[in-house]
Chains A and B, each alone.
Chain A
């Protein structure tokens, strides 16, 4: 008759044996050793955690798709991708620490992507560049690829380039809707890196060149305790259009609500934004469909016409109502790494970086980036990087420009 102690001993021995078998199984160990390591460093805690969550969802789906299709084809046999996810936190310092940890723990790292906020990406790439790890990023700031780094590849158009493209699109839309172009414009933005980079060329040269006067220029430090003072100035100066660029969700809500409160909403003042924060699913819940109706924003990437199969699969898998730039970009980044590794015939980081420099295609994964071409110039900026214009219509953000990607017709508000 076994005693209770014996039974417990037996159970413990069995559990230990199973654990050891699983841990030390040669096949499992070989599979782990052959895995190609890619990293996603994104804010998963702090105020930008939601953006990191959306990035992770896109990257996870891509890794699942790649591995389900047999993995990455290499001369020695196919290899699976293993994604290492690290939290960039809520400061550039934490983001940099995350990069240092990932690199120290994974000397065989092939490459990585991240980290949403330009200031985080600037900090992370200081670390990855020294380790020769190729880095893909959607962050916009011009400085990311303006430092002479060799292994940083910017898939978005830079903030400065986006400003020019946004202005051209806005003027074209305004003219086709009203027959004339706006004469007075205004800015209401925060002072973080992306808005600063986006508004500077508009303020310094682009608007002047088109003969448009800047009548209100309100820049605030987030978070905005109350949007009354800046919106009051917009109300006093009455621009023909307003570039709105808060990066934090509470500030987006505060500004849009204050514009409504001051009777400047829904067509009385065309609003143009830039960035992913205007298209996240939760902004609809926080701000409401009515306040968002007609609001336009330009963005480096988005789930657009022609990508319905991917978008539907993403929606089904994640429960998200649409595919934002954060998800589609990390999805595409994983596919780009697959392409580069296969081209290099190796998961060696330096060979992969070289392959990334040499890629030039308009097929396959290239179609998942605005502009549709995958080639990086000597600074690491994507050649032909364009943007999409998204407009809130009927409670959904729809691509309205360029026409090839448009899911709906653009509406320019008429006074």
Chain B
């Protein structure tokens, strides 16, 4: 009888830790995705419908780098896919830079000072169109067959335990663990860049108040272009990491874009670190909520938590309550 009770308790403990570990790992990757969007939406205030497609392009770039250039064969199944994910960043940075220069820049920054709704209507239409073009262009270019960066890590785990006698064992998926680690490193690098470098500070200033920033000698257009490009690159790195365990096709962006927006708003609009935390919280809530709710409701749980946070902290966990100058 006592053994049965211990066993029941152990199952609960094991399930909790297992869900928490899964949530932490997924949360770190969501966090990085949210950082990318935070630069574009949270700081520049561009409502970007194409964010999911930037993620998709990152996935395909990493995939072709691995399959076309044999990075796995060259560097092995651990370093190959993760290096490919990191390399997707600079390439999509250039893509984002050009995209902003020739398209998005026309409806943001100094071009829309004094325009109706600060150019948001034009941004909505433009990025929605861009999203459709990229997804359908991807279908023509890459085809409809789902792809994934094959690595044995995606089905192997480190085992912690047995704990509590012989009852509890915790599995940590290796692909997700490495992805989470890379996400944290990239996010920390981004925080440092934004907080400490003069370029990072000028990006924040140009986003906060383009007019005032231009009086201070900051090239606002260039700053916006760089922020957009960095946001695109960061999202692409997250895409490359997700591609190591999640099959994707050109329409994969829609699976993640709502989570990205929820994370940015939850963390606090205007804060890159807050966006990471917002994504992280979403990952943890999504997984741990299954302890008490049916799995079908795990995404509902995210939005219940989201509403509660927004009710008590309308500016998100790390958002600034003061109006922008």
Contact = CB atoms under 8 A, between A and B. Distances in A.
A218 B251 contact: no
Nearest to A53: B144
B106 to A, nearest CB: 28
A250 B146 contact: yes
A250 B247 contact: yes
A366 interface: no
Contact of A191 (B15, B248, B255, B296): B296
Interface string B140-172: 000011111010001111000000000000010
A44 B139 CA distance: 9
B101 interface: no
Contact of B251 (A47, A229, A257, A261): A47
Interface string A37-50: 00000001111011
B144 A50 contact: yes
A313 interface: no
Contacts of A250: 146, 246-248
A291 to B, nearest CB: 7
Among B154, B255, B299, chain A packs the most CB atoms within 10 A around the CB of: B154
Nearest to A191: B296
Given A45-B139, A286-B146, A286-B148, 6 more contacts: A49-B249, A50-B249, A223-B255, A225-B298, A230-B290, A253-B148
A49 B139 contact: yes
A357 interface: no
A232 B145 contact: no
Nearest to B23: A226
A260 B155 contact: yes
A288 B146 contact: no
Nearest 5 A/B pairs, CB to CB: A49-B144, A228-B22, A229-B290, A257-B155, A220-B295
Contacts of B136: 45
Interface in B38-83: none
Given A53-B144, A249-B146, A261-B156, A236 B15 contact: yes
A129 interface: no
Contacts of B283: 225
Given A232-B15, A232-B18, A221 B299 contact: yes
Nearest to B286: A225
29 contacts: A45-B139, A47-B249, A49-B144, A49-B249, A50-B144, A52-B144, A219-B295, A220-B296, A220-B298, A221-B295, A223-B255, A226-B22, A226-B176, A228-B19, A228-B22, A228-B171, A229-B15, A229-B22, A229-B290, A250-B146, A250-B248, A253-B247, A257-B154, A258-B155, A258-B173, A261-B155, A261-B171, A282-B145, A286-B147
B52 to A, nearest CB: 13
B294 interface: yes
Given A225-B287, A229-B15, A261-B155, A288 B150 contact: yes
A219 B286 contact: no
A90 interface: yes
Contacts of B298: 220-221, 225, 229
Nearest to B140: A45
SS of A interface (majority): helix
Nearest to A220: B295
A108 B255 CA distance: 40
Contacts of B157: 261-262
Contacts of A229: 15, 18-19, 22, 287, 290-291, 295, 298
Nearest to B12: A236
A328 to B, nearest CB: 19
B195 interface: no
B26 interface: yes
A150 interface: no
B216 interface: no
Given A219-B295, A261-B173, A291 B155 contact: yes
A265 to B, nearest CB: 8
Interface string B244-285: 011111010001000000000000000000000000000100
Contacts of B249: 47, 49-50
A50 B250 CA distance: 11
A219 B287 contact: no
A90 B287 contact: no
A82 interface: no
B294 A225 contact: no
B208 interface: no
Interface string A277-295: 0000010011010010000
A229 B287 CA distance: 7
Contacts of B26: 225-226
Contacts of B148: 253, 285-286
B118 interface: no
A249 to B, nearest CB: 5
Contacts of B9: none
Contacts of A253: 148, 246-247
A58 to B, nearest CB: 16
B164 to A, nearest CB: 14
A262 B14 CA distance: 13
Contacts of A49: 139, 144, 249, 251
Interface string B72-96: 0000000000000000000000000
A226 B287 contact: yes
A60 B173 CA distance: 43
A49 to B, nearest CB: 3
Nearest to B288: A229
A257 B171 CA distance: 13
Contacts of A228: 18-19, 21-22, 171, 173, 287
Nearest to A221: B296
Contacts of B154: 257
A193 to B, nearest CB: 14
Contacts of B147: 285-286
Nearest to B8: A236
Nearest to B283: A225
